[in-house]
Amino acid sequence: MFANFMINAWTVATIVAVIAGVVGFFVVLRGSAFAAHAIPNGAFAGAAGASLVGINTLVGLGVFAVLAALGIGALGRRGRNDVVTALALVVMLALGAVFLSQTTEYEPEIFSLLFGEVLGVASNEILPVAVLGVVCIAAVLVLYRPLILSSVVPDIGESKGVSSQRMEMVFLVVVALATAMTVPVVGALLIFSLMIGPPAAARSFTNRPPLAILLSVAIALATVWAAIAISFVTNWPIGFFVGALSALSFGVGRAWVAWRRTRTVRLETASTTLAQT
Amino acid sequence: MRWIFEPGFFSSHAVHVACAVGSIVAVVSGVVGVFTVMRGQSFAGHSLADVATAGGSGAFLVGISPLFGFVAGGVVGAGAMEAIGVRRARGRDLATGIVLGAAIGLAALFLYLSTTQTSTTGASQQILFGSIFSTVSSTVPIVAIFSVVCLGIMALVHRPLLLSSVSTDMAAARGVPVRVVALLYMLALALAVGLSSLAIGAILSTALLIGPAAIALRLTKRIGWAMAAAALSGVSAVLVGVLLAYDSYYWSSTHAYWPVSFFIVVIIFLGYLATELPFVRTATTRRGGSEPSAGTEVQQ
């Protein structure tokens, strides 16, 4: 499991989990789950296009992901965000379908772009992923306060000079960058579960943003590491385990919230009965 | 005429089936989609297509008809979203995302197992992208039956649904069983999306659900007109798209059909962009049209 050819997989998956944990916290906080689903899918179309014209896949991924983010941000200004996101998503996927229909790319390639192929990471793929990862984390750190402000109380943010529309644009681009580097590793469809499940679970346990981000990263790391290990043993696709474990962590978080609530109610009733006697 | 309709267009069996299935799906999606856009549930509408796909690939694996997989997957997914759904819109998106993520994971597993065990090549691509041209003509009556069921549910609930989409509190005060109505609507949505993603693929399913409805709600604020306009623009996009895809065979020297989903999606997207144009917007505003946002001004 820790043989030489697996080292790359562990390294890249760890970077991916850290990014997904940090960026995902804001995705959940802002309620941009749909955009976080649409952008990786758009990036997938870019990868298909890049392989058609024969350039580096990472370029295609990046260009299409950023285009999708800017398109959603620009068109979503007036109209409803979810309608625009849905339309951007289908346009990107339709382009992907055209690219695929014109190439002779064979099935496993497509499958791995959609569902990820963490075991096939080459050494020279690690550096771009790490660089983009550092850029994403740095962007989040720089934007940390205004981002939280405009996510939680957009009106107060506006009054303090934080344009929530510009913030949305910038944030979607960060999501796009985070996506572009992670799609080849965990796949277009599963980076999404990693950006939703662990952060949502983390928010069930704590309301303090820094703590929630750390917890979200920890859960994402645990999810990815466990997924690789089980996938290595069973030979089943890693995507399945990432999806299942993310949903599981969310379920545990919800159960914890429910349990806390019933316990407080029970304590309150107990204390009132005590007071009455 | 020969320049528009390439030889064999009217006699091709595949074209007939594609037009029939595409039109049925476009009508149902348009009617259901108006409510989807008004209630801000585009994400759920799209996710159900992926969830249904997971069901379909599961059915493919165990060897039963994918139809039951698609419909069952959609219905179970819709139920799960309602069950963990939180009232606030953000919470609803999160619930949708969790269900979607789990379903995609399952789809990955099913597809992997079916490609390694039965070595059926092209399974994942066909299930994900589908093709309106590869629809078997025997599915047409089944699609029609489920569409009638779906339209029946919509006819049954559309008045209380409209009220509760505009204001949940007002609907509850008037004695509308809000949860039941929402659940019935999700059932109709799941049926519509499950069928359309089986018949024409997940991409087109979302495009036909959201696009025409969004266009229609930009043009009129009367719900009946909006449904009719959505159905009409959906059907025309499908028919023109099928025609262009058929003709595309002769466009390049390689003689490869361009995917029909591409043409339909582009037509719908251009239509949506057209409603953004200034003169269209002023024309509709003068007639009293409004943004679909919040849906508060929608009249019966």
* pLDDT tens-digit map of A128-153: 888 888 998 999 989 888 888 888 87
Q: Residue B291: inside a domain, yes or no?
A: no
* pLDDT tens-digit map of B248-293: 776 666 666 677 888 889 999 999 988 877 666 655 555 444 444 4
CB B121 within 8 A of CB B177: no
The pTM for the full model equals 0.83
Residue B94 confidence (pLDDT) above 90: no
Chain B interface includes A104 (CB < 8 A): no
Q: Which domain holds residue B137?
A: 13-286
Of B111, B128, B265, the CB nearest to A90: B265
Nearest CA in chain A to B116: A236
C-alpha R_g of chain A:
20
Q: Who has greater pLDDT, A64 or A48? A: A64
Q: Residue B26: inside a domain, yes or no?
A: yes
Give how many domains chain B has, as a whole number.
Answer: 1
Q: Residue B126: inside a domain, yes or no?
A: yes
Q: Which domain holds residue A181?
A: 4-276
Q: Residue B292: inside a domain, yes or no?
A: no
Give how many domains chain A has, as a whole number.
Answer: 1
- Determine, for residues B259 and A94 on separate chains, whether the beta-carbon distance falls below 8 Å: yes
CB A168 within 8 A of CB A195: no
What's the CATH number where B81 sits? 1.10.3470.10
Q: DSSP letters of A87-112?
A: HHHHHHHHHHHHHHHHS---HHHHHH
Task: For residue A271, name the pLDDT band (cuts at 50, 70, 90).
Answer: confident
Say how many residues make up chain A. Answer: 277
CA distance A204 to A167: 25
- Position A268 scores a pLDDT of 78
Q: DSSP letters of B91-159?
A: HHHHHHHHHHHHHHHHHHHHHHHHHHHS--TTHHHHHHH--GGG--TTHHHHHHHHHHHHHHHHHHHHH
Chain B interface includes A265 (CB < 8 A): no
* pLDDT tens-digit map of A215-235: 999 999 999 899 888 988 888
CA distance B89 to A64: 28
Residues in chain A within 8 Å Cβ distance of B258: 98, 101
- Position A219 scores a pLDDT of 94
Q: Residue B298: inside a domain, yes or no?
A: no
Q: Who has greater pLDDT, B95 or B90? A: B95
Q: Residue B171: inside a domain, yes or no?
A: yes
Q: Residue B6: inside a domain, yes or no?
A: no
CA distance A131 to chain B (A): 27
Q: Residue B266: inside a domain, yes or no?
A: yes
- Determine, for residues B108 and A190 on separate chains, whether the beta-carbon distance falls below 8 Å: yes
Query: Which residues, 6+ apart, have CB-to-CB distance to B277 below 8 Å?
Result: none
- Determine, for residues A100 and B40 on separate chains, whether the beta-carbon distance falls below 8 Å: no
Residue A86 confidence (pLDDT) above 70: yes
Query: What sign does the CA torsion over B73, B78, B84, B86 have?
Result: positive
Q: Nearest CA to A38 among A244, A246, A192, A187? A: A192
Chain B interface includes A259 (CB < 8 A): no
Nearest CA in chain A to B204: A90
Overall average pLDDT of the A16-20 stretch: 90
What's the CATH number where A48 sits? 1.10.3470.10
Residue A87 confidence (pLDDT) above 80: yes
Residue A92, phi-psi category: left (phi > 0), alpha (psi -120 to 50), beta (remainder): alpha
CB A162 within 8 A of CB A146: yes
